[in-house]
């Protein structure tokens, strides 16, 4: 079986500097042999030879009535076709794929495409989501636009752009505002539109299977007591779609039966509002932890590690949610206890 092709998703609100970053990134030797997919309508100015477009298309309502998995058939077709479209003598002409989403897009449907289509999942390995946040307008954009909050919530790496401008908010203020939306993401600077390319190349946070990232770094667990308390001017959740991160620890081992019942009930009741979930779980009868990662009601296959990385055997769960109270989640997690 051929190794899967590394794939990165680049997102961020209008004017956040995505295309500038992408133009700079593909000029580096390490990313020069990338194929770039622009997942939006209209033309984008990008100085790169291997580039194609996939268009936005209709929302398809599933039989259950759920529309959280917007079907992006054009993106699926593009990903299936590029392996032969950009090939010579039977060999593909690129090492990795970069997808740039439209600035007004919720990136979750793109992630669904990568996770739910078996043919795509067999060919590509999602390495991570990079979200650009404009340091000048970022705080107001996050407050006023739900798309921007969702872009930040699903990120593995947040890049703060335009820090060189005099009107830029401080890194400390931006980081403090972003942390409640997403404690899982690393926050770094993109100086003059260019980030340290190694931060992107080393992303390996989407799938626990075959990951080279140390387990504790993969989860970036933050105990509840350590979650930041924000001043009112940095609060971003006052506009009706409150995105919030919660974390829980369980000292006792969990039975597989209880875990399956719990997860099925949680996804049935709140699947569309679970923007992202990661967990390291101590399951009874296994020598190492079970590691899971999901976006809404779609999950990567659970991975069982052969051993624990250290003496800590507690289960750790991190949720990034929309319109779910801490009390409801805490009550749900209690179902896992003996």
Query: In a structure prediction context, what are the per-residue pLDDT tens digits for the chain, which is 338 residues long?
Result: 678 899 999 999 988 988 888 888 888 888 888 888 886 544 455 555 566 555 544 333 333 334 344 445 678 888 888 887 877 777 787 888 998 888 887 888 888 888 888 888 889 989 999 999 999 999 999 988 888 999 999 999 999 999 989 999 999 999 999 988 898 899 999 877 677 888 888 888 666 655 666 666 677 676 644 444 444 444 555 444 688 888 899 999 999 999 999 999 999 989 889 988 989 999 999 999 999 988 888 888 888 888 888 888 999 999 999 889 889 999 999 999 88
Alpha-carbon distance of 113 to 5, in angstroms, equals 15
C-alpha span between 75 and 40 (Å, rounded):
10
Task: Give CA torsion, residues 274, 96, 80, 11, to 10 deg.
Answer: 40
Q: CA–CA separation, 54 vs 148, rounded Å?
A: 21
Q: What is the pLDDT of residue 65?
A: 39
User: pTM for the complete prediction?
Assistant: 0.83
Whether the Cβ atoms of residue 119 and residue 134 lie closer than 8 Å to each other: no
Other beta carbons less than 10 A from residue 57's beta carbon: 12
């Amino acid at each position: 079986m051929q190794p899967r092709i590394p794939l990165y998703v680049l997102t961020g609100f209008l004017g956040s500097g995505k295309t500038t970053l992408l133009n700079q990134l593909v000029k580096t030797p390490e990313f020069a042999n990338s194929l770039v997919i622009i997942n939006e309508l209209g033309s984008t100015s990008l100085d790169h030879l291997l580039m194609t477009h996939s268009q936005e298309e209709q929302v398809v309502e599933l039989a259950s009535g759920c529309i959280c998995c917007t079907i992006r058939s054009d993106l699926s077709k593009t990903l299936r076709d590029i392996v032969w479209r950009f090939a010579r003598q039977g060999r593909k002409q690129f090492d990795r794929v970069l997808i740039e989403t439209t600035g007004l897009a919720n990136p979750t449907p793109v992630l669904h495409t990568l996770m739910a289509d078996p043919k795509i999942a067999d060919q590509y390995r999602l390495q991570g989501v990079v979200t650009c946040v404009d340091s000048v307008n970022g705080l107001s954009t996050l407050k006023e636009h739900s798309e921007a909050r969702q872009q930040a919530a699903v990120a593995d790496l947040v890049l703060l752009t335009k820090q060189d401008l005099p009107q830029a908010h401080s890194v400390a203020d931006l980081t403090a505002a972003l942390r409640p939306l997403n404690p899982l993401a690393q926050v770094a600077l993109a100086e003059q539109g260019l980030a340290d390319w190694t931060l992107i190349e080393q992303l390996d946070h989407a799938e626990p299977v075959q990951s080279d990232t140390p387990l504790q770094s993969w989860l970036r667990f933050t105990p509840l007591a350590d979650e930041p308390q924000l001043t009112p001017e940095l609060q971003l959740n006052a506009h009706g779609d409150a995105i919030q991160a919660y974390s829980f620890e369980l000292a006792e081992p969990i039975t597989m039966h209880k875990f399956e019942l719990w997860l099925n009930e949680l996804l049935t009741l709140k699947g569309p509002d679970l923007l992202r979930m990661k967990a390291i779980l101590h399951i009874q009868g296994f020598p190492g932890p079970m590691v899971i990662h999901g976006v809404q009601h779609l999950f990567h296959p659970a991975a069982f590690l052969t051993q624990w990385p250290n003496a800590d055997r507690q289960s750790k769960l991190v949720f990034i949610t929309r319109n779910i109270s801490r009390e409801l989640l805490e009550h749900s997690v209690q179902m896992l206890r003996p």
